[in-house]
Amino acid sequence: MRTPVIAGNWKLFKTIAESVALINELKPLVANNHGVEIVVAPVFTALSPVCAAIQGSNIRLAAQNCFWEEEGAFTGEVAPKLLKDAGCSHVIIGHSERRQYFGETDLSVNKKTKAAIAARLTAIVCVGETLAERESEQTFSVIEKQVQAGLAGLAVDDFAKVVIAYEPVWAIGTGKTASDAQAQEVHLFIRNLIAGLFNQSIAGAVRILYGGSVKPDNVKGLMAQPDIDGALVGGASLKAESFAAIATFNV
Ligand code: 13P
């Protein structure tokens, strides 16, 4: 009942030409897989060319960040409606790299999420604990705070435009994936949290993605978990072959 989402976060990689070349390689490899929502998130400068390249395909476009204001004297920022204008259907919000290097907070995540939804973008809201937090047994309290504050004030209807991504920081780019059981445990915790904060029907419908060293050889085990509804993929999304293998985990 929850359509899986496989999203590739290209981070700060690839020129426009490289981005378009990757799409052209990817398209035929995933063309027949209509059971999965396949999303790619290139850098801002490649959004429009990638939008042109995905026309007529089953690949959808995400940005990696947005601002919360629609317009104004905010040098260097990009508004959700401009992402929509460039062809995006999705936007990643609150990635741990933004929290770590660019001062993203639960409050800015909340403002950005609301602005993205208002612009009719699907917000992929990222949460996740650091290694120190996991080792000091704070995983659940950290996730609870990030989910509660990040999604505070959302209306029930807004959840049609929300996807949550659980990305343990210690698993990102390290080759160290959370075990299927470790990931499932946190996904279930998030779903129960949403049930308590909002309601059971939203909790049952919201997609919760796992991110952190997802590869072709571990995606099936993760996707077999009852509360894992997809993947947010970094490194393995930069090559057509590995991303296609992940995006076709179900065939
Ligand atoms: P890796 O798949 O490279 O670990 O990155 C995960 C990630 O941060 C996706 O947003």
Tokens of residue 109, six digits? 């995540």
Mean pLDDT along residues 163-192: 95
Q: Which residues does residue 211 pair with via DSSP β-bridges, in sequence order?
A: 232
Report d(CA 55, CA 5) in Å as an integer.
19
Give distance in angstroms: CA of 128 to centre of ligand 1.
Answer: 12
Q: How many CB atoms lie within 10 A of CB 198?
A: 17
| Best residue for ligand 1 mutational test, from 5, 11, 126 (most atoms within 8 Å of Cβ) | 11
pLDDT tens, residue by residue, 129-155? 999 999 999 999 999 999 999 999 999
Give distance in angstroms: CA of 211 to centre of ligand 1.
Answer: 6
Q: Which residues contact 47 (CB under 8 A, 6 or more apart)?
A: 61, 63, 83, 86, 87, 88
235 lines ligand 1 (CB under 6 A): yes
Give distance in angstroms: CA of 10 to centre of ligand 1.
Answer: 9
Q: How confident is the model at residue 177 (pLDDT cuts 50, 70, 90)?
A: confident
C-alpha pair distances (Å), 181 with each of 2, 93, 168, 204, 226: 20, 25, 13, 19, 10
- Structure confidence at residue 1 (pLDDT): 85
- Structure confidence at residue 176 (pLDDT): 85
208 lines ligand 1 (CB under 6 A): no
Report d(CA 149, CA 167) in Å as an integer.
17
pLDDT tens, residue by residue, 27-82? 999 998 989 999 999 999 999 999 999 999 999 999 999 999 999 999 999 999 99
Q: Give φ, ψ of 95 to 5 degrees.
A: -55, 145
The pLDDT mean for the chain works out to 97
